[in-house]
Amino acid sequence: MIPVLQVENLAKHFQMHHLGQRLHAFDGINFTLHAGEFLLLRGPNGVGKSTLLRTLYRSYLPRAGHMWYHTTEGRIDLAVAADVDIALLRRREIGFVTQFLIARPRVAAEDIVAEPLRRAGIPAAEATEEARRWLAEFGVKRDLWRAYPTTFSGGEQQKVNLARALILPQRLLLLDEPTASLDAGARAALIRRLADLKAAGVAMIGVFHHPGDVAGLIDREIELTAQEVPEDVAV
């Protein structure tokens, strides 16, 4: 079976010019992920779990190693792929789910959620209808759908963000503590959606403050430890 993602000897550090020093994040990360697999990243705070996710999404540039992503048109190394290719994959295949919403001024919640569908060419009315369905699923009150999320509470913003991030099925989902600060109803909705996506073949890599939330979904784990080469452990 062809994997979705093969990570080889991935390393990241941050060059801090104003301090004249390098900040080590991680070294020697290796793993392979297939369709429908769920990989949990474990480890104490500050060990580089979120940094690894952001590196895989190419918000951070890796220092060394490869991130081979397999597409229908062959494999591409995300570590060195052209920016436009990364942008293309993010629109079509690779999603990043975080607990933080980047709300734009004066854009209604339902429009924020519908945007990935609009970008994929789905007509406005249909996209809005689907967006409302997901806002309802995550428990955002109907009164808020036309409101601007900049003034929402953290929890409500997060629900909008999750609806947006998960509305369009992807091939690879990177999950950065998506359950943090969610109420029970929204957490259940999120886990249902992740289970459906996994069953549909979406590969996922996640960081969870309470991994018990997604215990039923986890196939494998990687334990990140400070300054050590992490091991890939089968569950």
Partner 1 sequence: MTAALALRAPQLMTTPPLLTMTGVSRRYSDVVALDDVSAMVYPGEVLGIVGESGSGKSTLLRMMNLEDTPDAGDYRLALPGLPGNLFELDRFARRMLCATRIGIVYQNPHLGLLMKNSSSGNVAERLLIAGERSFAALRGRAREALNASEFPLERMDARPIELSGGMQQRVQLAKAIALEPALLLLDEPTTGLDVSVQALVLDTLKRLQRDRAITMVIVSHDLGVIRTMADRVMVMRRGRVVEQGLADQIFQDPQHDYTQQLVHAKL
Binding interface with partner 1 (CB under 8 A) = 14-18, 54, 58-61, 71, 73-74, 76, 80-89, 104-107, 115, 118-119
By beta-carbon proximity to partner 1, the closer residue of 61 and 235 is: 61
CB 174, min distance to partner 1, A = 13
Distance between CA atoms of 224 and 49, rounded to whole angstroms? 7
CB 60, min distance to partner 1, A = 4
CB 74, min distance to partner 1, A = 8
- Following DSSP, what letter does each residue of 120-179 receive, concatenated? TT--HHHHHHHHHHHHHHTT--GGGTTS-GGGS-HHHHHHHHHHHHHSS--SEEEEESTT
Name which of 28, 31, 26 is nearest 5 in CA terms.
Answer: 31
By beta-carbon proximity to partner 1, the closer residue of 87 and 233 is: 87
CB 52, min distance to partner 1, A = 13
CB 16, min distance to partner 1, A = 7
Burial class (CB in 10 A: 0-12, 13-18, 19+), 56: buried
By beta-carbon proximity to partner 1, the closer residue of 76 and 136 is: 76
* Token representation of residue 141: 């009150």
Angle at CA 51, nearest 5°, toward 61 and 62? 20
DSSP state at residue 213: G
By beta-carbon proximity to partner 1, the closer residue of 22 and 141 is: 22
By beta-carbon proximity to partner 1, the closer residue of 12 and 187 is: 12
Residues 6+ apart with CB under 8 A from 14: 22, 23, 25
- Following DSSP, what letter does each residue of 63-84 receive, concatenated? SEEEEEEEETTEEEETTT--HH
* Token representation of residue 86: 């990364």
By beta-carbon proximity to partner 1, the closer residue of 111 and 221 is: 111
By beta-carbon proximity to partner 1, the closer residue of 15 and 153 is: 15
CB 207, min distance to partner 1, A = 16
CB 132, min distance to partner 1, A = 18
